[in-house]
Amino acid sequence: MESPIYLDHATTTGPSDYLVQQMQPFFKRHWHCPTAPYLKGKEPFATINQKIRKIKTSLGAGEKDTFVLTSCAAEAISHIYHALAIDEASETGKNHFVTTFIEDASFLMGINRFEALGIQKKLSPLNNQGVLTPENLMRTLTPRTSLVSLSWANGLTGILHPIAELAEVCKEKGVAFHVDVSDILGKLYFRFEDLPIDYLTFDGDRFHGPKGTGGLLIRHPHTLSPLIPDGTQQHGLRGGTLNLPGLVGLGIAFEEQEEHFNHVCMETARLRNHFETSIESALSEAQVLFREISRLPNVSVIAFPGVTSELLAFHLAQQDVFASFGGGRHQKLPALLETIGIDPDIAKCALSFSLGRGTTQEEIQRAVGIVADTAAKCRTFSKKVKV
């Protein structure tokens, strides 16, 4: 029996066997509270420092920058919003948080939570390719803007924003800048200390780390009040017993993403491009979107005119090929594409395919055949259905 073909790595990824194995001792043998004073100098305490150093080094953070282990990126993002709403907006009157309409739920719903405290969400317009330009951001900022909060890349479309240029705009205007890097880790090189980014967040499970892990990096000398207060845990920034198994797994995920970086950037991009050209050869009506702009090396959005994305995704899943039309923490892909300016008749027929570092040539070859055959059959059945 052939294995499933998973082409939805923008939603989540699986950890390596080695990572899971290395976490096991910290569930069984080192189950104690890792920050207990009697463990200082022993293996758990040393492991904490080692893994945090590894994470900060991989992100290009400075020694004085602060790392906080969280349960996910959504928690880390909420932490930033909570602290700025409570500590800054209420005192200075700078109550505008800027983001874009293509962001995930953790951004849009996260800001909405603080409207009762006077926070106003401002959505910066994008260009006709779905990219936030420095010019559009500049026009959105006002003297009351406190924060600009963005994902570096959109996981469904693969679109990349010019973060270095946007960071300079925020620096010039004295506005705090938050960037979520969940979708670019292991795919795009950057160093935190080289960019005027104030807050950085990420999800562990989107680059083969353990589920239930994420991170918040705070540039020195910025500080944030805790989202979960509880004494001195994690510099007093997050209460609760430190998730040491999760930290161990996260540290290993950073090690592994460095090892696989060239493979993902080159081989995965080659497989993605091969997938696109093969689909176009098999289905003359198929349309590859965003090919001409800067995008992630592992993401492809393809429209199949005459077939709704949900219908195609359903029938592909029946054959163990998994692609995405959004939903969950992501926006629905058709709605997202329409807001960018894609023709609604095309947007409703698009699927997002995101490859992983373990995706093989054989899987792509099988996927091409299954996708092309299934799309053709669905199109035949849907000829009288207006989509």
CATH number at residue 42: 3.40.640.10
Mean pLDDT of the chain, nearest integer: 94
% of the chain with per-residue pLDDT over 90: 87
Q: How many domains does the chain have?
A: 2
Q: Are residues 270 and 250 in the same domain?
A: no
> Cα–Cα distances in Å, from 312 out to 238, 276, 371, 372?
43, 17, 8, 10
Give tens-digit pLDDT for 237-276.
Answer: 999 989 999 999 999 999 999 999 999 999 999 999 999 9
Give tens-digit pLDDT for 296-316.
Answer: 999 999 999 999 999 999 999
Count CB-CB contacts under 10 A for residue 308. 18
Domain boundary among 256, 281, 311: 256
Q: Are residues 206 and 318 in the same domain?
A: no
Structure tokens at 216: 């918040």
Residues 6+ apart with CB under 8 A from 106: 73, 74, 77, 78, 329
% of the chain with per-residue pLDDT over 70: 95
pLDDT of residue 232: 80
| Cβ density class 205-234: b for 16+ within 10 Å, e for less | bbbbbbbbbbbbbbbeeeebebbeeeeebb
pLDDT of residue 90: 81
Give tens-digit pLDDT for 338-382.
Answer: 999 999 999 999 999 999 999 999 999 999 999 999 999 999 876
Instruction: Give the whole-angstrom CA distance, residue 298 versus residue 11.
Output: 13
pLDDT of residue 192: 98
Q: Which residue's entry shows tokens 């923008």?
A: 10
Q: Are residues 244 and 269 in the same domain?
A: no
pLDDT of residue 108: 95
By C-alpha distance, which of 13, 7, 4 is closest to 202?
Answer: 13
Q: Are residues 29 and 154 in the same domain?
A: yes
pLDDT of residue 258: 97
Give tens-digit pLDDT for 92-113.
Answer: 999 999 999 999 999 999 999 9
Residue 387, pLDDT > 50, answer no
CATH number at residue 315: 3.90.1150.10
Residue 220, pLDDT > 80, answer yes
Residue 43, pLDDT > 80, answer no
Q: Are residues 214 and 343 in the same domain?
A: no
Q: Are residues 191 and 61 in the same domain?
A: yes
Q: Where in the sequence is the domain holding 376, given as residue range(s)?
A: 5-12+261-385
pLDDT of residue 272: 98
Q: Are residues 246 and 316 in the same domain?
A: no
DSSP string, 54-92: HHHHHHT--TTSEEEEES-HHHHHHHHHHHIIIIIIHHH
> Cα–Cα distances in Å, from 87 out to 79, 117, 125, 306?
12, 11, 28, 52
Chain center to CA of 309: 22
